Amino acid sequence: MRTTPVVTVNGSTAAGTVDATMTNITDTRNPWWGAGEAIILLSNFGMDVSCHAASSEIEVNVGAGVSPGSVIGVIENGAFPDCTTWGPLGLAVSMSWNASHITVREHPYLAGDPIPVDVHLDARVVGVGCDFDIQGSLRGTLFPGDATHDGYLRLEPGYDAVVTRAGSSGSSCGGEWWEGDLLEAAHGTFAINTSGPGAGLINHS
């Protein structure tokens, strides 16, 4: 009978949480975007929100089953104070996330393989003349740790998020963003480093 693998940190499968910090690193898939770009959200109409270097505090759920829908981590906060809406207007904005679950999207083929995940998203983008909310999820892959970092999260395309509110009339940012616009992650790779009791490499077995 096949058993469900579980998340490990420092080789331990004992149920609990381990604190970690998630910091953006260079995303080599898109070299035409600068190394300082932390995340780029692209709409189905070609608009995007581009945010610069940022870090977030997360919790890794040690012992959680690696099966579709299982919560294997929680992003406790996501603050991106230096962002731009790339369109005709190029407005300066900031983006903040509420606490977000990281859930397994697909079962990895083998223990230790990268895990396809969904990063659940409840975010707000604000700036002068610009104000809209985003809900849904961003697709990604969680990679095991190595000698440099304890783990990695790479965001990937897939229109699973939507603008649920834009301004007070259904559009915002000079008409660049509208309620119902779909979004995906076009860019974003983050290093995860654990700290405190139980810290170590993230994997699953």
pTM of the model: 0.91
Tell me which amino acid residue 204 is: H
Tell me: the pLDDT tens digits for 60-100? 999 999 999 999 999 987 788 889 987 777 899 999 988 89
Tell me: the pLDDT tens digits for 156-175? 999 999 999 999 999 999 99
Buried-state track 94-117, b at ≥16 Cβ within 10 A, e below 16: bbebeebbbbbbebbeeeebebbb
- The CA angle 154-183-157, to the nearest 5 degrees, is 35
On whether the CB atoms of residues 57 and 19 are closer than 8 A, the answer is yes
- Written as six digits, the tokens of 141 are 């892959």
User: How many whole angstroms from its chain centre is CA 201?
Assistant: 19
CB atoms under 10 Å from CB of 136, counted, come to: 19
Q: What are phi and psi of 55, to 5 degrees?
A: -140, 155
